[in-house]
Amino acid sequence: MSDKQFNLAKDWFEDLRNQLINLVSEIDGKEFVQTNWSHRHEGGGTMSKIKGPVIEKGGVNISSVYGEFNSEMQNKIPGAKKDPKYKATGISVVLHPVSPKIPSMHFNTRFLITSEKWFGGGMDITPCLDFNKIDDYHNGLKKLCNEYYPNKYSEFKKWCDDYFYLPHRDEPRGAGGIFFDYLKNNWENDFEFIKNVGKYFRDFVENTLIELKNEKWNEREKNIQLVKRSRYAEFNLLHDRGTKFGLETGGNIDAILMSMPPIAKWD
């Protein structure tokens, strides 16, 4: 049963990857460059990277890895204490646009199996200037959550706000979105939710890029973006669980740090 579910999740993540790279590639005009990598235990992934006139640095990474947690991780991961074996499959996406008018966009969903099994993931955006679609963005996420997890939206939103926060600067990384983990209520419902979060992200990327890619911006705005990106870099290296998980489990370094901004300014 678990194996079948694992493969269904894995296939969806691959399908979504294909949709996303086709979409972004068409809007940007550049092709993604794909690299396969192997995990030090078993499995691996494919990283697709783009650098073009619209997306300054973008990456879509899918991976399916099989291994054993070390003793430190065993204590942190649900269901890993009695048996360190795990399977994980997931997709993660980060798009850092050239234009400071377009927010950086981040998304990931994953399915993990230890002696338990669950979905996790989320999406969030980081505008550096005013972004007039911010209410639509949040309202769309609310509607989506209400469909599959009634009354959970405010919890998922708060989780995202709490997570993407830089305590040392007392400021949020961006404008938030939703964040969730350990979804193991009803597999079919959870999987539908996961698929719809992916579709929501895909549509948001499409609409936002098409609408804003030709808007003019100036050097002053670009500079604000570069400084904002230094906070992004700080968050990823100081706090991000995905980064820590990747470094702990010996994942591919380019894939783990794919989300780092192309250029960041601490000046």
Span from 11-19, 49-57, 97-105, 110-118 in contact with a copy of itself (CB under 8 A): 49-57
Residues ≥6 apart with Cβ < 8 Å to 246: 252, 255, 256
Residues ≥6 apart with Cβ < 8 Å to 36: 44, 45, 46, 47
Task: Render 62-109 in DSSP notation, one character per residue.
Answer: EEEEEEE--HHHHTTSTT-SS--EEEEEEEEEEEEESSTTSPEEEEEE
**Is there a contact between 221 and 101 (Cβ–Cβ < 8 Å)?**
yes
237 binds a copy of itself per the rule CB under 8 A:
yes
Q: Which is nearer to a copy of itself, 153 or 165 (CB)?
A: 165
Q: Which is nearer to a copy of itself, 182 or 266 (CB)?
A: 266
93 binds a copy of itself per the rule CB under 8 A:
no
33 binds a copy of itself per the rule CB under 8 A:
no
From candidates 136, 207, 210, 266, binder to a copy of itself by CB under 8 A: 266
Q: Which is nearer to a copy of itself, 158 or 169 (CB)?
A: 169
Distances (CA, A) of 20 to 41, 54, 167, 228: 28, 15, 33, 25
233 binds a copy of itself per the rule CB under 8 A:
yes
DSSP state, residue 118 = E
Residues ≥6 apart with Cβ < 8 Å to 66: 39, 41, 42, 43, 85, 86, 87, 88
Which of 41, 96, 106, 239 is catalytic? The answer is 106
Beta carbon of residue 115, minimum distance to a copy of itself (angstroms, whole number): 29
Span from 80-88, 120-128, 210-218, 252-260 in contact with a copy of itself (CB under 8 A): 252-260
Q: Which is nearer to a copy of itself, 57 or 195 (CB)?
A: 57
Beta carbon of residue 35, minimum distance to a copy of itself (angstroms, whole number): 16
Tell which positions 141-180 bind a copy of itself, by CB under 8 A.
168-169
98 binds a copy of itself per the rule CB under 8 A:
no
Q: Which is nearer to a copy of itself, 205 or 258 (CB)?
A: 258
Residue with tokens 């194996």: 3
- Distance, in Å, from the CA atom of 49 to the CA atom of 176, rounded to the nearest integer, reads 24
Report the amino acid identity of residue 17: R
- Catalytic annotation present for 106: yes
Q: Which residues here bind a copy of itself, judged by CB under 8 A?
A: 51, 56-57, 168-169, 226, 230, 233-234, 237-238, 247, 253, 256-257, 260-267
